[in-house]
Amino acid sequence: MAAQTTQTIFGVDIVKGSSRSREAPRYAVAVLNGSVEKYSSVSRFKLLRLIRQYRPGILAVDSITELAENRKELVRFLKRLPPEVKLVQVTGNEHQEPLTKLGRDNGITFNPVMPDEEAFAAACLASMGVGYIVSAFEDRTVIKVSRGRSLGRGGWSQNRYRRKVQGKVREKVREIEAKLKDRVYDMTITEGFGGYVNGTFIVNARRSDLGIHSSREEDVQVTVTSVEKEAIEFIPLQRRKRDYIIVGVDPGTTTAVAILDLNGRLVEVTSSRVSSIPDIIEHISEKGRPVVIATDVVPPPGAVEKIKRAFKAVLFTPNERIPVEEKVRLARPLGYSNDHERDALAAAVKAFNTYKNKFAQIDKKTPSHLDANDVKALAIEGKPIEMALDMLTAPPAPERPRGAILPETEPDAKLEELRARLKQKEEQVENLRSYMGDLRRDMKHLELRVSSQDRIIRNLKSKGIDDVRRTREITIRDGEIARLKKESADLKRRNSELQSNMDRLKHIRAMEFRGDKAPVKVVESLSKEAVLNCDRKFGIKAGDVIFVRDAGGGAEAAAMLAERGVKAVIKGTPMSHMAEERLFRAKVPVLPRDDVPLKFVDGYAVLDPGRLEAAIEKWKAYAAGVEKRGREEKLLGIIDEYRAKRAREYRNDSKASD
């Protein structure tokens, strides 16, 4: 029989193949969404397509090994699911029970040899709250914004294209930052030319709660992934209604409440301006059974004392007021939205850390048939661990022999027990009376305060809304004006640089036409960046004369000059052997500065054309001599090699004749 369900639930069972075999697995699928649909055999691809189509709340299986061979494959499979889908293993956590036994215990009959019926049984069990959620991700999400394509090898428009793409990345980062304004997150950005190279957000929230999805546009891509846990965790699908909890409270105009379970996991952190003490007590009771009420100050506020008395919980206060730095360190890993939530969360974490070692001992000593949290609750009340275990372990009922008469309970012992119970009840009544008196005083105070606040609210309501809107609009416009001013200043500076370069180029071209002085383009150093910078400013073309102020660079920059067909290179300092050899092979004269005197005018140099030609002719004669010596050395080498060969042949012939 199927249980009624208000959400779509998928039950899945493997038909053939397995996650460990080479044969692709196929699955039987049962869909519960008010009616029942069954698919007898679907591939993994179609299973994922059905999940994306139906968007079920639960994907139930009898064993997660049917979906993945190991943890890595399981995480990969979970990443392909929509974020709201929970994977549930109905047979238990690490310790599993047979599906047939679970079905029998919950009134579900099915044929275990039929995969589609097993899938249906798994879906029904999950709808009844049987099973464990397979949790592989923390409640943290990484959002990465980066370029959507490579910038390529470059060209005339390389810088403009880089500025465009990195500007798009910056716009997308700001867009996501606006969406996360009410969230707790860390952001890192890498700035680039005209914008951002990339930006990364680490948000303290589940991926399904953000409303931001992975996407790819023309120039920008957004990748949204959940942060993996160190180990797969199994969370009960249907928690106990009254779990033991540790509550941190920060009272005041804004009251914040932080709730942890006895394993230190965050249950909830919230804050409100309108919650009264009774509202807070009711809210806490809905979340669980408090065993510790914690505060971050000494002495504890009266409101915290009232909440503690309402639950008869243990009050935790630190030895001294917790510093702000320590509060941030304690609360930041769990996440908070404001300073009040931070203080409440720090108090709860501080209380948990106080009992942490004792909790670890209890986990080791508690037998499997007892709930360790029950032992922890008794230990917090002050009971020794051994006594708590004895109190929770029901003694076995002794066998009554035939004919034996059980001794009656002694009247004195029974009377003492009744007196102790009566005293306990009287203390409870007294605590409740005291608490009721506090509530009545608070209620009168709040009634007066509410009537006063109502008058103020009526006067400020209409005016306040307009002021907020106007302030928000002004802030937005001021930000836009500042951004436009910055862009305008950047454009003016760039325009000034380009105008200066144009004037220099006109002057150089005029001197070239007159012929009285030969212009020389200056490269600051023999490096690729310096050559490209000179090319951008003045343009390096065939027939140019280049002066390298610092010639101690590499062969790559020399090759760039040779490829552009320059007429000659004048070196300001000694040039490396590899660079000079590269220019020599390209037949580009390399001239010392002493041979060609230069005059510097406005960032470039001029020289006497006659002196230049004389120096080039001198270099050509030197180059011809070098080539001639090279040919002679090569010829002598051939002759020496021939002589050595003939000598070897002669020696071999002499040995053969002997």
pLDDT class for 501, splitting at 50, 70, 90? low
Q: Is the pLDDT of residue 58 over 90?
A: yes
Q: Helix 277-287 vs helix 302-311: angle between axes, to the nearest 10 degrees?
A: 40
Q: Is the pLDDT of residue 372 over 70?
A: yes
- Residues forming a β-bridge with 248: 258, 294
3-state secondary structure of 233: strand
Higher-pLDDT residue of 601 and 446 is: 446
Highest mean pLDDT among 133-137, 500-504, 602-606, 612-616: 133-137
Res 347: pLDDT: 94
Mean pLDDT over each residue of the chain, to the nearest integer: 82
- Say which CATH architecture domain 9-130 belongs to: 2-Layer Sandwich (3.30)
Higher-pLDDT residue of 631 and 300 is: 300
Res 427: pLDDT: 63
Q: Is the pLDDT of residue 400 over 50?
A: no
Res 156: pLDDT: 54
Is residue 313 within 8 Å of 262, Cβ to Cβ? no
Res 636: pLDDT: 82
Q: Helix 411-514 vs helix 277-287: angle between axes, to the nearest 10 degrees?
A: 90
pLDDT class for 608, splitting at 50, 70, 90? confident
- The tens digit of pLDDT for each residue in 139-155 reads 889 999 998 777 665 55
Q: Is the pLDDT of residue 645 over 90?
A: no
533 CB-contact burial (10 Å; exposed 0-12 / middle 13-18 / buried 19+) = middle
Separation CA 169–CA 162 (nearest Å): 11
Q: Is the pLDDT of residue 263 over 60?
A: yes
- The tens digit of pLDDT for each residue in 3-46 reads 334 578 999 999 876 555 567 889 999 998 877 889 989 999 99
Q: Which two tokens stand for residue 214?
A: 């992975």
Pick the CATH number of 515-634 from 3.30.420, 3.40.1350, 3.30.70, 3.40.140: 3.40.140
Highest mean pLDDT among 71-80, 386-395, 466-475: 71-80
Phi-psi category of residue 211: left, alpha or beta, with phi > 0 → left and psi -120 to 50 → alpha: left
Q: Is the pLDDT of residue 1 over 60?
A: no
Separation CA 371–CA 420 (nearest Å): 27
Domain 515-634 in the same topology as domain 244-379: no
Distance of CA 547 to the CA centre of its chain: 51
Highest mean pLDDT among 50-64, 136-150, 513-527: 50-64
The values of phi and psi at residue 211, to 5°, are 75, 20
Cα-Cα-Cα-Cα torsion 437, 439, 440, 441, nearest 10 degrees, comes to 90
Is residue 220 within 8 Å of 145, Cβ to Cβ? yes
| Candidate from 297-301, 343-347, 567-571, 647-651 with smallest mean pLDDT | 647-651
Q: Between β-strands 220-236 and 244-250, what pairing exists: parallel, antiparallel or unpaired?
A: unpaired
Q: Which two tokens stand for residue 401?
A: 């022999």
What proportion of the chain, given as a percentage, has pLDDT over 90? 22
- The tens digit of pLDDT for each residue in 415-443 reads 666 776 676 677 667 767 766 776 787 78
Mean pLDDT across 342-356: 93
Give the burial string for 127-158 (b: 16+ CB within 10 Å, else e): bbebbbbbbbbebbbebbbbbbeeeeeeeeee
Kindly state the helix (H) or strand (E) to which residue 126 belongs, with its residue range: helix 115-127
Separation CA 248–CA 348 (nearest Å): 4
Res 443: pLDDT: 83
Q: Which of 371, 337, 363 is nearest to 266 (CA)?
A: 337
- The tens digit of pLDDT for each residue in 540-561 reads 888 888 888 888 777 888 888 8
pLDDT class for 410, splitting at 50, 70, 90? very low
Q: Which of 650, 549, 649, 546 is nearest to 607 (CA)?
A: 546
Res 394: pLDDT: 47
User: Helix and strand tally (H, E) in the chain?
Assistant: 17, 21
Looking at domain 139-152+159-229, its CATH class is alpha beta
The values of phi and psi at residue 594, to 5°, are -65, -30
- Residues forming a β-bridge with 203: 141, 185
Separation CA 633–CA 628 (nearest Å): 9
- The tens digit of pLDDT for each residue in 220-253 reads 999 998 888 888 888 888 644 568 999 999 998 8
HSE-CB of 85 using CA atoms within 13 angstroms = 21
Is residue 193 within 8 Å of 163, Cβ to Cβ? yes
Per residue, what are the HEC states of 352-390? HHHHHHHHHHHHHHCCCCCCHHHHHHHHHCCCCHHHHHH
Res 3: pLDDT: 39
* Domain 244-379 coded CATH 2.60.120: no
- The tens digit of pLDDT for each residue in 76-93 reads 898 888 888 999 999 988
Q: How many residues does the chain have?
A: 658
Q: Which of 16, 9, 69, 18 is nearest to 40 (CA)?
A: 16
Res 2: pLDDT: 37
Is residue 588 within 8 Å of 566, Cβ to Cβ? yes
Q: Is the pLDDT of residue 72 over 80?
A: yes
Separation CA 370–CA 70 (nearest Å): 31
Q: Does residue 323 have a cis peptide bond before it, meaning omega lies within 30 degrees of 0?
A: no
Domain boundaries, the chain: 9-130, 139-152+159-229, 244-379, 473-509, 515-634
